Structure 1
């Protein structure tokens, strides 16, 4: 575990702390012709070797540097302005997976798929259910009450912001239940109510207020129900 933490620290230093914006801009413009791309690759190899500080790890540090360069080149050549966020996430996931593979390879270990036991499948199912599936479920239920004023205010809101807020709040509730912090759910609900109160008061639309309230209560209700079900199933496995 400590080896992975050291490599993760090296990655954070090389990719974020010690990589100037000028390097990033030059790489995006010149791609494989950018001298800063190779400085960046070299930096990752040096950081990994220094932080691990073992002679036997030097070939693995070189492997980290080379794989980092390949991943970055793929991102630089395929990303566009509209897809930068997607490629950034994919790029970081790929780097982390490489670090995990290097740790397993260096420590002469193999991935044990027994890690994915019954508890894992219960957790991942509950986690995924309260994201997009629940959003669609809630949207379908409350669509019959959709207020007219909602459409007129749409331009003043970030695209899909309500959907993402709902997913995040359900994930928070889910985690609070599994960790036994039920009081935090009340705090979260109160905080959302405070932020929403101003908008609803200005709108002076009772239908909109009721619409938002129904959606919020259903969202919290589903998250709490799923959290309790998952918690009960996990307890049965102990």
Structure 2
């Protein structure tokens, strides 16, 4: 299990944390001709090799990098503006399945032996998951419902404030779950609702209200789920 956690952490770093938006834009426009596609693939291979921490894993890191590039190329060539959300989800599922397959292949084991203990890697991966990767996931999922009037209400907002608020609230929820303070989650959700009420009342836009509500519930839901999963993994013998 610990090898998978490390490789998943490498995936989060390579696909979300250390991949600038400029790389994504260039890849979408130039596809296989984009230099950033190959830098992206190389980054994944290097991260996988470093975090695995074993010289014998290098060929498998190369395998991860190559398959990552192939999966990304398929997505870049087949996705359209209307299907980006679907291809994003399929792309991430494919990458995770590759990581699972590589772990089982490297360890020469079946899925039965997949669980092992290492609290540090489990915790750090859970924390990283609910930051930028989850923000991108939520933005992709709810983009189909984004109201046209939303942009007009952002003129007086801090740059990327909503994104950072979402990350902070998920970190709080995650911490509350791990420390057993479930009641604090309700307090946090109530506090956010009070602060949001004035903006939504002023906007008088039902679609914007529903959009914010969907985003908030997905954000809290993912944070709670991540916290429960990490908590369960930490308790494994």
Q: TM-score, normalised by structure 1?
A: 0.50
Aligned length: 156
Q: Is 1:77 aligned to 2:94, yes or no?
A: no
Aligned to 2:193: 192
Cα drift, residue 55 of structure 1: 2.1
RMSD, matched Cα: 4.2
Query: Paired residue for 1:6?
Result: 6
* CA distance in 1 between partners of 2:148 and 2:105 (Å): 52
CA gap of 1:23–1:185, structure 2 versus 1, over 3 A, is: closer
How has the CA–CA distance of structure 1 residues 34 and 193 changed in structure 2, closer, same or farther, with 3 Å as cutoff? closer
Paired position in structure 2 for 1:24:
24
- The answer for the alignment partner of 1:48 in structure 2 is 48
Q: Which has the higher contact order (CA 8 A, sep 6+)?
A: 2
Q: 1:74 to 1:199 in 2, by over 3 A?
A: closer
Q: Which position in structure 1 is the counterpart of 2:61? A: 61
Structure 2 length-normalised TM: 0.50
Q: Cα distance, 1:155 vs. partner?
A: 7.8
* Distance in 1 between residues matched to 2:188 and 2:35, nearest whole Å: 51
1:167 equivalent in structure 2: none
Matched, 1:96 2:96: yes
State the alpha-carbon separation in 1 of the partners of residues 56 and 12 from structure 2.
23
Unaligned residue ranges in structure 1 (runs of 5+): 116-153, 159-171, 209-238
CA–CA distance in structure 2, aligned partners of residues 59 and 26 of structure 1: 28
Where do 5+ consecutive residues of structure 2 fail to align?
Answer: 116-146, 152-172, 207-237
